[in-house]
Amino acid sequence: MTGRRRQRPEPGAIKALAVDIDGTLADDSRRVDLEAVAALREVQDSGIPVMLASGNVLPIAYALSNYFGLTGPIVAENGGIVSYQQKIWVLGDPAGPRKAYDFLRTKMDAQRLFTDRWRETEVGLTREVSLEKVRDVLKDWPVDVQTTGWAVHIMEKGMNKFRGIQKGCELLGISPKNVAAIGDSDNDEMMIRECGYGIAVGNAFEDTKRAASFVAKGSDGKGVIEGLAWLGILAR
């Protein structure tokens, strides 16, 4: 099944890979698919850097990238922070999201994530918080409100993972047109749409699937492996 594009990349067209974590490499219980991680290592060993692109905070994304054995830039906080070779670039401005959250608290109960003690550029709310209500309360504020299925994120207007990937591409000396992105949810849609090739796993949101070059049948890690095979960068 395909979305916006049908043509598979030519051999050598993919210069880097960007992969989401929750709902993509990890399932609903947040168990990481180790076969998918092994596949990412295989891709990286072939000479294609692998970037983790997550809505999670940098300490978690950094740790996972290191223990997965990946060496590409790390995109955290939905593009708000990029890390590469132990250097950090802060792209997002937290002032707007924090002011919006202070206002939100006057209108409803909105509990922040435990990991927000490390969050620098946005505000993350627990997934029990109503996405629709948050969007309604903050509709006149200059922020974007998105969900990952795991959390509700209040971000600077226009902030998204693709902006972080653009910085990662700058650091790698490549074009986003030569990047393949894999994800599942609202906050993955822009990178899947704007990178050269976008893969949606089988459990992806419908809008994310419509933005993709290819939609896998398999969910989570199985979908990742299926997408890598479609891209032609996985030998198995």
* Chain position carrying tokens 């906080």: 77
Residue 179 to residue 185: CA distance in whole angstroms: 18
Amino acid at 191: M
Tell me how far the alpha carbon of residue 4 is from its chain's centroid: 19
Taking the C-alpha atoms of residue 51 and residue 49, their distance in angstroms, rounded to an integer, is: 7
Residue whose token pair is 């030998």:
235
Torsion of CA 135, 140, 144, 150, to 10 degrees: -20
CA atoms of 227 and 97, how far apart (whole Å):
34
**Cβ atoms within 10 Å of 25's Cβ, excluding its own:** 28
Closest Cα partner for 54 from 118, 139, 101? 118
For this structure, is 20 an active site residue? yes
Taking alpha carbons only, the member of 115, 131, 228 closest to residue 182 is: 228
The pairing of beta strand 143-147 with beta strand 179-183: unpaired
Active-site residue, from 20, 22, 184, 188: 20
Q: Which residues are part of the catalytic machinery?
A: 20
